[in-house]
């Protein structure tokens, strides 16, 4: 571990946000301020404001002295970076500069009209869509990029370890400035389309052009930074897993090669549903990019920036983030000179102190999962189904006051509207599978598209494709080879139906999935449509009874099974109405499996998306059952705990150590959470064969618990203990060892040393 760079070790980032009165820092004892960050915040890396992110868009001003840029006037001669950095280093905090690169005042924009982001109708984006109520934004392909790179160089001269770029962002319907038009025309022979036209290949070229422009900007910004500090780090807000990220040109697969961290915001907002696993969803997606990851968590209560999150939300955010392999980032808003933000700092202090104390168990850890869930960025970007029957106007059915509402039933013909629906499907499918696997305590990683062909797939026994609709011929061949060599696959809906840019393709996965043809789709419905499990005699359906009905997903295909496939369930004939007599069993399968090399399960419907929205327990059970059957062997870890307890499996080969993270998300049935309910007697069974496969020295099959320095007195080759000092129950099993954690309050680690 000695050869790890500081940013490759567990990172606890913090940001002290002074809001609109930066000058207050001049009146603080800087040594005391930095010491508090180390001893009260327990951070080891700090973002220091280099250009403000405050109204009316002052990203063009600096907090440090330079003759190249205008200074924030209230600071006078006080150099915020150069004055504070020595104290940060004294207290072992790595200093980075926060550089706002997306929010500029109209005044600044008017001085540089050729830098502005321009929409297709030639209007300035910031005038039509004022940023944060006032302000505009600039284009990464304009000569502003040279201004930005010089800003990076000047900031780095202050002695920083690196920079974080807040932005830039290529905003929706942008950019059609002269620089973008010239650059695109030079590479493509014509100007980009002015409308969202998915039938035009040139529009898809424009989508990729925007993302590549972001990657080029970050690459060149990194080169500028390393001119001053060759060991410096750089990263930006790279976007997360939500469908439709292509609209703001964010893709960690594109920018990842040029940054030291994959980082993204996961800011809590009130007034909309917040998933239980909100921060886990972001963390695993970012970790999949193959770089150290950081999940950004604001302290504030949504858009009420002067109110803090409830303490439980702050602590659970950090726990989920670290359990899924990411580093933490928390912002603390300091509102006024007389106000100490203790409400914000107290929960941050508690959780970061725990992380700091247990840093050895977080360093150079590797996932213990042998199952992967594919996050297909290609599909999120380019997928629009060619099946017209799927695009009927439906909405979640509701019945109230003796009225019934379920959508107009009209056909949606507009391609942008269809694309928006497919974007939603992709995000909900990822969330649905992620939630089902986590709630069933199935260890899994998230994998990006590149992992199919770059060798990453070889680490896993089972891959869950979900609705990975847009895959290249090489990726489809790699999946076929994976299954032929004994790998297992779970897929649904239109997995592999299109090429990597969403075009119809003669190369598909149908034969691999046990499907001869797709012969249309059922009319989408949000009510009263069912699946019949028939005899339920297959091992996959062991937890279901014969003749059991399940709800049919809103979106379901009519798939003709291959002769070598086994049909496990059938869709029932549509009723078309509520309170209507069932119409019997259709000929169309709802679940198919086959075995040829490895095991394959195929659902001809959007089951993951359906579960992601409706959260039906039986659908969750079906998804998990498909994974269990396809996987075909014991999981490395089996857990007995409520589904609201998140359990993540890691190992540290260099220490012959297994680390199990447990996060309690069992709260008071509303968000934001104010109360957590402790969970007692959580059982974790570790597969002995898997465990010893990650140790060079383990010999026998004996385990003891340790509380403090105590123990059973046995001569062990396994020593198990809790990071919080709780004594574990130990029971040897035929397959391994079962550990019982007596109580989980919020977050704990169970450590197993293999000696």
pLDDT digits (tens, 9 = 90+) for 285-320: 999 999 999 999 988 888 888 788 889 999 999 999
Whether the CB-CB separation of 189 and 229 falls below 8 Å is answered with: no
Question: At 102, is the pLDDT very low, low, confident or very high (cuts 50, 70, 90)?
Answer: very high
Regarding the domain delimited by 6-357, which CATH topology (the fold level of the hierarchy) does it fall under? TIM Barrel (3.20.20)
CA distance 444 to 437: 8
- Show the tokens assigned to 739: 């550990």
- Show the tokens assigned to 369: 């999962």
Q: What is the pLDDT of residue 272?
A: 82
Q: What is the pLDDT of residue 333?
A: 81
* pLDDT higher than threshold 90 for residue 736: no
Question: At 271, is the pLDDT very low, low, confident or very high (cuts 50, 70, 90)?
Answer: confident
Q: Where in the chain is the domain with CATH 3.20.20.80?
A: 6-357
Residues pairing with 741 in the sheet: 682
Q: Which residue has the tokens 């940054």?
A: 259
* pLDDT higher than threshold 80 for residue 336: no
Whether the CB-CB separation of 428 and 243 falls below 8 Å is answered with: yes
Mean pLDDT of the region 334-363:
84
Q: Where in the chain is the domain with CATH 3.40.50.880?
A: 371-517+558-567+590-631
CA distance 592 to 562: 9
Residues whose CB falls within 8 Å of the CB of residue 58, separated by 6 or more in sequence, listed in order? 51, 52, 72, 100, 105
Question: At 270, is the pLDDT very low, low, confident or very high (cuts 50, 70, 90)?
Answer: confident
Residue by residue, DSSP assigns 656-696 as TEEEEEEEE--BSSSSS---B--EEEEEEEEEHHHHHTT-S
Q: Which residue has the tokens 């680490």?
A: 459
Give CA 486 to chain center in angstroms: 29
Nearest residue to 82 (alpha-carbon basis) of 27, 17, 157, 18: 157
Note the helical H segments in 274-341.
278-287, 311-323
Note the helical H segments in 576-678.
607-614, 617-631
Q: Where in the chain is the domain with CATH 2.60.40?
A: 637-754
Residue 166 phi/psi, 5° resolution? -85, 95
Q: Give the three-state DSSP class for 470.
A: strand
Question: At 712, is the pLDDT very low, low, confident or very high (cuts 50, 70, 90)?
Answer: very low
Q: Considering only 124-133, 571-580, 698-707, which range has the smallest mean pLDDT?
A: 698-707
Whether the CB-CB separation of 522 and 529 falls below 8 Å is answered with: yes
- Per-residue pLDDT of 594-640, as tens digits, reads 999 999 999 999 999 999 999 999 999 999 999 999 999 999 999 99
Would you give the DSSP letter of residue 556? B
CA distance 395 to 533: 26
* pLDDT higher than threshold 60 for residue 716: no
Question: At 405, is the pLDDT very low, low, confident or very high (cuts 50, 70, 90)?
Answer: low
Which of the listed CATH numbers 1.20.1560.10, 3.30.360.10, 3.40.50.880, 3.40.190.10 matches domain 371-517+558-567+590-631?
3.40.50.880
Question: At 335, is the pLDDT very low, low, confident or very high (cuts 50, 70, 90)?
Answer: low
Distances (CA, A) of 225 to 8, 71, 334: 19, 20, 29
Q: What is the pLDDT of residue 700?
A: 46
Q: What is the pLDDT of residue 20?
A: 80
Whether the CB-CB separation of 325 and 361 falls below 8 Å is answered with: no
- Per-residue pLDDT of 122-139, as tens digits, reads 999 999 999 999 999 999
Nearest residue to 350 (alpha-carbon basis) of 327, 322, 316: 316
Nearest residue to 114 (alpha-carbon basis) of 184, 210, 181: 181
Specify the pairing of strand 70-71 against strand 61-62: parallel
Question: At 530, is the pLDDT very low, low, confident or very high (cuts 50, 70, 90)?
Answer: very high
* pLDDT higher than threshold 50 for residue 698: no
- Show the tokens assigned to 521: 């789709």
* pLDDT higher than threshold 60 for residue 711: no
Instruction: Considering only residues 401 and 446, tell me which one the structure prediction assigns the higher pLDDT.
Output: 446
The enclosing H or E element of 596 equals: strand 585-596
Q: What is the pLDDT of residue 406?
A: 63
Whether the CB-CB separation of 237 and 167 falls below 8 Å is answered with: yes
What b/e string do you get for 38-52 counting C-beta neighbours within 10 Å, with b at 16 or more? Answer: beebbbbbbbbbbbb
Please give the class, per CATH, of domain 637-754.
mainly beta
Neighbours of 326 (CB within 10 A): 29
Q: Considering only 23-37, 197-211, 263-277, which range has the smallest mean pLDDT?
A: 263-277
Residue 675 phi/psi, 5° resolution? -140, 135
């Amino acid at each position: 571990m000695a050869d790890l760079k500081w940013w490759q070790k567990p990172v606890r980032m913090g940001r002290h946000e002074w809001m609109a009165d930066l000058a207050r820092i001049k009146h603080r004892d800087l040594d005391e301020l930095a010491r508090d960050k180390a001893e009260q915040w327990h951070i080891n890396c700090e973002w220091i404001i280099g250009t403000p992110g405050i109204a009316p868009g002052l990203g063009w001003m600096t907090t440090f002295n330079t003759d190249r840029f205008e200074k924030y006037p209230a600071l006078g001669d006080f150099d915020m970076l150069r004055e504070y950095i020595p104290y940060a280093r004294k207290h072992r905090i790595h200093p980075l500069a926060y550089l706002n690169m997306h929010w500029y005042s109209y005044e600044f924009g008017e001085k540089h009209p050729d830098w502005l982001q321009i929409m297709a109708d030639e209007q300035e984006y910031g005038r039509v869509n004022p940023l944060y109520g006032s302000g505009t934004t600039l284009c990464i392909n304009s000569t502003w990029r040279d201004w930005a790179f010089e800003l990076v160089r000047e900031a780095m001269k202050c002695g920083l370890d690196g920079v974080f770029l807040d932005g830039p962002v290529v905003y929706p319907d942008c950019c059609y400035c002269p620089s973008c038009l010239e650059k695109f025309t030079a590479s493509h022979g014509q100007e980009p389309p002015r409308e969202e036209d998915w039938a035009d290949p040139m529009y898809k070229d424009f989508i990729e052009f925007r993302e590549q422009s972001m990657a080029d900007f970050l690459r060149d910004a990194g080169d500028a930074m390393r001119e001053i500090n060759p060991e410096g780090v750089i990263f930006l807000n790279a976007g997360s897993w939500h469908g439709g990220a292509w609209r703001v040109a964010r893709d960690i697969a594109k920018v990842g090669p040029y940054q030291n961290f994959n980082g993204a915001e996961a800011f809590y907002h009130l007034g909309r549903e917040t998933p239980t696993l909100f921060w886990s969803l972001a963390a695993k997606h970012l970790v999949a990019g193959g770089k150290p990851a950081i999940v950004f968590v604001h302290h504030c209560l949504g858009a009420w920036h002067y109110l803090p999150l409830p303490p439980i939300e702050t602590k659970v955010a950090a726990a989920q983030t670290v359990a899924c392999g990411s580093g933490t980032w928390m912002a603390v808003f300091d509102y006024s000179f007389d106000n100490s933000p203790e409400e914000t700092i107290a929960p941050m202090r508690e959780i970061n102190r725990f992380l700091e104390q247990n840093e050895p168990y977080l360093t150079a850890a590797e996932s213990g999962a042998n199952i992967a869930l594919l996050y297909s960025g290609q599909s999120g970007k380019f997928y629009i189904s060619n099946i017209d029957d799927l695009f009927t106007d439906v909405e979640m059915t509701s019945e109230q006051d003796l009225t019934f509402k379920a959508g107009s039933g009209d056909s949606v013909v507009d391609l942008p509207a269809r694309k928006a629906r497919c974007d939603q499907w992709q995000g909900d499918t990822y969330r649905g599978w992620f939630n089902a696997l986590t709630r069933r305590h199935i260890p899994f990683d998230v994998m990006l598209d590149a992992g199919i062909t770059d060798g990453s797939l070889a680490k896993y026994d089972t891959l869950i494709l979900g609705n990975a609709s847009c895959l290249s011929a090489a990726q489809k061949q790699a999946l076929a080879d994976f299954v032929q060599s004994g790998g297992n696959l779970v897929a649904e809906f239109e997995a592999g139906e299109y090429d990597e840019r969403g075009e119809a393709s003669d190369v598909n996965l149908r034969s691999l999935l046990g499907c001869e043809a797709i012969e249309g789709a059922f009319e989408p419905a949000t009510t009263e449509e069912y699946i019949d499990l028939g005899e339920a005699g297959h091992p996959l359906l062991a937890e279901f009874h014969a003749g059991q009905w399940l709800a049919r997903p809103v979106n379901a295909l009519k798939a003709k099974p291959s002769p070598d496939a086994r049909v496990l369930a059938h869709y029932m004939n549509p009723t078309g109405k509520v309170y209507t007599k069932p119409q019997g069993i259709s000929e169309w399968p709802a679940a198919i499996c086959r075995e040829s090399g490895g095991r394959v399960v195929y659902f001809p419907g959007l089951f993951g998306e359906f579960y992601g929205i409706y959260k039906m327990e039986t659908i969750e059970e079906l998804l998990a059952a498909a994974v269990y059957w396809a996987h075909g062997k014991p999981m490395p870890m089996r857990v007995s705990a409520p589904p609201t307890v998140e359990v993540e499996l890691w190992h540290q080969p260099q220490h012959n150590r297994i680390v199990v993270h447990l996060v309690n998300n069992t709260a008071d049935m509303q968000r934001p959470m104010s109360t957590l309910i402790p969970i007692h007697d959580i059982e974790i069974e570790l597969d002995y064969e898997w465990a010893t496969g990650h140790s060079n020295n383990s010999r026998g099959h004996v385990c003891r618990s340790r509380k403090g320095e105590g123990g059973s007195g046995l001569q062990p080759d396994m020593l198990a203990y809790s990071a919080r000092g709780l004594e574990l129950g130990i029971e040897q099993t035929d397959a391994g060892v079962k550990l019982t954690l007596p109580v989980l309050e919020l977050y704990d680690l169970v450590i197993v040393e293999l000696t």
